[in-house]
Amino acid sequence: MLRQPKVGAAQTSPTLPTPAQGVRFTTPIVETPGIVVLASWIWRLTRFLVALPFRFPVLVATVTVSFAAWWWLGWPGLAGLWATAAVTSLVWWRTWPDSYRTWVTLRMLAWWRHVFVYRRHWQPVLVISGLAESYQERRYLPRIRRVTCDTWADRVRVSLVAGTAPADFEHRVTELAHGFAAPSCRVIANGPRDITLEFPRHDTLAEPIDAFPMTHYVELDALPVGRREDGSPWLLKLHGTHVLVVGVTGAGKGSVIWSAVRAMLPALADGTAQVWAIDPKRMELAYGRDLFAQHADDGESAVALLERAVADMQERAQRYAGKQRSHVPTTDDPFVVVLLDEVAFLTAYHPDRDVRRRAENAIATLTSQGRSVGFAVLAALQDPRKEVMNLRNLFPDKVALRLDEASQVDMVLGEGARERGAEAHLIDPTFPGVAYVRLEGSPAPVRVRAAYVSDDDITAMTEVYGAGSSSDGEAS
């Protein structure tokens, strides 16, 4: 029961002016009953104690076990426990020194980064980036639950306050990365109110990646073409989709294309996959011509190649109709990759209007109907604007290498990609092959770097695999 509010002195004092004199009113002061204050403190203490094992599991376990040992076995028991722990860590250190050093170093680093980087700058960075309201209201500040470190990144687990969503953080990744002096920031949603912010401590993609070794095994829907920022392989799906690779001149489109071809080599050799290549610049693909089942380099022959691909695709679709809904690569029905370097040459820059129209029709037909019958288009493009390439939405998967303007990022990777941290327009020109991609099942763009396939690598590829691939139907 609340007591009757005590009316403040301001209203009773005869020396103060009355409302009739036209001066301000003062709000009455209500005193919270002592029992309510006490209950609130007990509630807070209980909540703190219940949450403690979840917030500091190692610390709580150590204290509890030590206390139990002392309680049951006395001081000798406690000393024995600590001696066992010391011997165990000594054995670990002597037997697996690297693992021990890494574990200890990373835990110390995590503690240091938690205290001196994240906790210290948390409130100002969140307030300034618009993710928390004010400096006074700590209740409405998302709470850091835990900081962990591995060899390349810090991971900050955060409990969100009611009314904010993981997407709010995704839209502020640039500010967060800047605020904590990290090269980038990625948001991983663990639940509606629980996220992990991943801050790399250095740029893991700064060094070029050599071409991957040629293997005998190929997965056409997961071709290893480079590395992701977290060190895991960047796997490009080609079978069952179409891929558009966009970047200014010198951005490294060639390395994406050649890494994909390199990863497909065993399938090219056994005839379950074919590459039909169009190379208007006569530079990019000419080196590996022996690897391609068909090849074209001028407008007329390129359109003829595309129209042949459309005819084959439609013939296959006719055969599959009512019998088969998806494609399985075989030597009779191989997976066909139509490789188009600088697709705008055919769709926008070619002087012959008829060539442009036919090329556009063929590409549109292939990209809209080819996926389920084993035809994929892998195209490279410098300028993603609509007037240059109005077919870009027919490519389900896109790779954004270095771009000219910020506005082009969303054109390539889709609405909101730039807000979520895909800063393709800011990629360092001295890092060709670095790109942003969107992976299946996640709206957050991922930074990757393609492996660099040098001219010598291509020569070696043609020497090993060139003779094995079919060269029937050479178009040029």
Ligand X SMILES: Nc1ncnc2c1ncn2[C@@H]1O[C@H](COP(=O)(O)OP(=O)(O)OP(=O)(O)O)[C@@H](O)[C@H]1O
- Residue 254 interacting with Mg ion (CB under 5 A): yes
- Residue 466 interacting with ligand X (CB under 6 A): no
- Give the residue, chosen from 142, 166, 200, 254, that forms a contact with ligand X under the rule CB under 6 A: 254
- Which residues in 194-253 contact Mg ion (CB under 5 A)? 253
- Residue 247 interacting with ligand X (CB under 6 A): yes
- Residue 382 interacting with ligand X (CB under 6 A): yes
- Give the residue, chosen from 334, 432, 445, 466, that forms a contact with ligand X under the rule CB under 6 A: 432
- Give the residue, chosen from 132, 251, 261, 379, that forms a contact with ligand X under the rule CB under 6 A: 251
Output the smallest distance, CB 253 to ligand X, in A: 4
Run of H or E residues at 199:
strand 194-200
Q: How far apart are CA 363 and CA 355, in angstroms?
A: 12
SS3 of residue 123 by DSSP: helix
- Give the residue, chosen from 250, 326, 349, 357, that forms a contact with ligand X under the rule CB under 6 A: 250
Secondary structure string (H, E, C) spanning 207-255: CCCECCCCCCCCCCCCEEEEEECCCCEEEECCCCCCEEEECCCCCCHHH
Q: Which is nearer to ligand X, 354 or 456 (CB)?
A: 456
Output the smallest distance, CB 344 to ligand X, in A: 10
Output the smallest distance, CB 213 to ligand X, in A: 16
Closest CA to 1 of 30, 36, 44: 36
The answer to whether 211 and 366 are in contact (CB under 8 A) is: no
Q: Which is nearer to Mg ion, 212 or 345 (CB)?
A: 345
- Residue 445 interacting with ligand X (CB under 6 A): no
- Residue 179 interacting with ligand X (CB under 6 A): no
Quickly list DSSP for 318-341. Answer: HHHTTT-SS----SSS-EEEEEES
- Residue 421 interacting with ligand X (CB under 6 A): no
- Residue 252 interacting with ligand X (CB under 6 A): yes
Cβ atoms within 10 Å of 327's Cβ, excluding its own = 21
User: Which residues have C-beta within 8 Å of that of residue 242, sequence separation ≥ 6?
Assistant: 366, 367, 370, 371, 376, 377, 378, 379, 394, 395, 396, 397
Q: Which is nearer to Mg ion, 227 or 253 (CB)?
A: 253
Contact map string, positions 257 to 296, toward ligand X, x by CB under 6 A: ---------------------------x------------
CA distances from residue 16 to 6, 21, 23, 28, 312 in whole angstroms, order as listed: 18, 10, 9, 15, 96
Output the smallest distance, CB 300 to ligand X, in A: 22
Size of the site for ligand X (CB under 6 A): 15
Q: What is the DSSP secondary structure assignment for residue 206, as one 8-state letter?
A: S
- Residue 312 interacting with Mg ion (CB under 5 A): no
Q: What is the DSSP secondary structure assignment for residue 99, as one 8-state letter?
A: H
The answer to whether 407 and 422 are in contact (CB under 8 A) is: no
Cβ atoms within 10 Å of 54's Cβ, excluding its own = 10
- Which residues in 187-216 contact ligand X (CB under 6 A)? 208
The answer to whether 188 and 198 are in contact (CB under 8 A) is: yes
Q: How far apart are CA 177 and CA 198, in angstroms?
A: 9
Residue 367 interacts with which of ligand X, Mg ion, none, CB < 5 to 8 Å by class:
none
Residue 360 interacts with which of ligand X, Mg ion, none, CB < 5 to 8 Å by class:
none
- Give the residue, chosen from 154, 229, 279, 284, that forms a contact with Mg ion under the rule CB under 5 A: 284
- Residue 329 interacting with ligand X (CB under 6 A): no
From the list 11-19, 40-48, 242-250, 409-417, the region that binds ligand X by CB under 6 A is 242-250
* Chain residues that interact with Mg ion, rule: CB under 5 A: 253-254, 284
* Chain residues that interact with ligand X, rule: CB under 6 A: 208, 247, 249-255, 284, 382, 432-433, 450, 452
